[in-house]
Structure 1
Amino acid sequence: MIPSIDPKPPGKRLIKRMSTRTKWMILAPCGLLIFSFGLTVLSEAAHQRRTGVPTQVWVVLGLYSLALINGGLIMFGEALRFRILLDVRRETRRSMRQLARKISIKAAGKHKPGKKAKSPTKTD
């Protein structure tokens, strides 16, 4: 008997269940850390180039730093995307509440029991 295997990676469900705020709070600092580590590795590669280390060593370090810098920027960009999504949702909810409040106030003003509108032609 062959067991059924879930085709999705194990962390996919976990990430899908995370809130947008949690994703933003995880991705932003991680992206910045990876970006800064990539800059550090780049400076080390430049230092090794100047000190006369064989070309293969500093080229590999430079490529590694390039991958780290780009990965950090991509992660930070995703974090910004989640943050913008949070802000847009908040503004949408706020405007929907204000609109609902305006509609309920107008509806309540039209149907006030006990007060009748006076006829403009009648005088007391």
Structure 2
Amino acid sequence: MALPAPSKPPGRRLIKRMSTRTKWLLLAPFSLMLVGYGLCVFSEAAHLKHTGEPFSRWFLLGTYSLVVINAGLSLFGQAILFRMQIENRRMIRRYMKKMLRNRPRPKKENPVRRA
């Protein structure tokens, strides 16, 4: 008996169909919010440490904050890659348009003047 092929999650298909611009517009602000949230949690962990809370409490909160900050930075890096793809495509299209406009065209011979 054959095993059924694993199906892709529906979110993966949705993301694959999105344009690069849409991915960039969603990912950039979300990643910046994630970094900001991680910094807020980090400052709370530092406050807990300085007020004499138990080690496990501020340590786990600080670890969680560092994970969130790094995830936000990673997602922001991906957003930058999407933006660079957009810019590269724009530059290539402009260059190709310019090359097509300025290409030398072969001269047509007049068939009547042949000797």
Partner of 1:119: none
| Alignment-mate amino acid for residue 87 of structure 1 | E
**SS at structure 1 position matched to 2:102:** helix
Map 1:1-124 to 2 at 5 A.
Answer: 6-103=6-103, 106-107=104-105, 110-111=107-108
| In 2: Cα distance, 1:112 partner to 1:12 partner | 57
Q: CA deviation at 1:8?
A: 1.1
| In 2: Cα distance, 1:60 partner to 1:85 partner | 38
Q: CA deviation at 1:80?
A: 0.1
- Identity of paired residues, percent? 49
Q: CA deviation at 1:6?
A: 4.9
Q: What CA RMSD, in Å, does the superposition of the two structures yield over aligned residues?
A: 2.1
| Alignment-mate amino acid for residue 40 of structure 2 | T
Number of aligned positions between the proteins: 110
Whichever of the two has the greater Rg, that structure is 1
| Alignment-mate amino acid for residue 39 of structure 2 | L
| In 1: Cα distance, 2:102 partner to 2:108 partner | 15
Q: CA deviation at 1:71?
A: 0.5
| In 1: Cα distance, 2:31 partner to 2:38 partner | 11
Gap runs ≥5 in structure 1: 117-124
Question: TM-score, normalising length from structure 2?
Answer: 0.87
Gap runs ≥5 in structure 2: none
Q: Which runs of 4+ in 1 moved over 4 A?
A: none
**SS at structure 1 position matched to 2:7:** coil
C-alpha change, 1:95 and 1:35, in structure 2 (3 Å) is same
| In 2: Cα distance, 1:35 partner to 1:5 partner | 38
